Amino acid sequence: MISLKFFIMTFLSLIQWLFLSNFLVGFSGLQEYVEAVSFQHFIKTRSLISMDEINKQLIFSTEDNGKENKTPSSDAQDKQCGTWRLKITPVDYLLGVADLTGELMRMCINSVGNGDIDTPFEVSQFLRQVYDGFSFIGNTGPYEVSKKLYTLKQSLAKVENACYALKVRGSEIPKHMLADVFSVKTEMIDQEEGIS
């Protein structure tokens, strides 16, 4: 029977081999992982996780006991330790962070619906910093980055519109109706830009 540890190590070595062989040029699984980890990190700390911190989480150690039948004296000789690493590339990191902005936009709108008025302003400030960082890359980075920059800009606009409505009209509209106002504005923005 194949052990779970053996299966995981085989799978990780296959992924690593494919990655190093450039077969996963369009593989978005790593970007999705970056998005998920950075979203969790943002919720906990209100900051962006670094690529190095993510890569530290992708180091796996195993201890292979070798033979099934052992004598006590041969135990130390048969044990083998292995370390497996999966590295996030700078491109995967950037594209994952760009995807994060969509999740943060949804978090912002949902927080308003829950009566949390502070989160949209925190998210807006964070998204502005991310957008400014991506603007430095602009069209000099990989093609996928420039495509995601457009979506990032849309997410930022939606969050800034929500913050504007909170600041200007927040006292006029009951908290339970604010989310409806934002969803209507979001639909209008999407229609203007030909998304829906």
Query: Phi and psi for 153 in degrees, rounded to 5?
Result: -65, -40
Region class of 111: left (phi > 0), else alpha (psi between -120 and 50), else beta: alpha
Q: Confirm or deny that 187 is annotated as ligand binding.
A: no
**Residue 88: helix, strand or coil by DSSP?**
coil
Asked if residue 122 lies in contact with residue 105, where contact means CB atoms within 8 angstroms, the answer is: no
Q: In 10 A of CB 133, how many CB atoms?
A: 13
**Residue 87: helix, strand or coil by DSSP?**
coil
State the alpha helices, DSSP H only, in the chain.
4-20, 29-45, 51-57, 75-78, 90-113, 118-137, 143-169, 175-192
Q: Confirm or deny that 103 is annotated as ligand binding.
A: yes
Question: From the annotation, which residues make up the binding site for Mg(2+)?
Answer: 35, 103
Question: From the annotation, which residues make up the binding site?
Answer: 35, 103
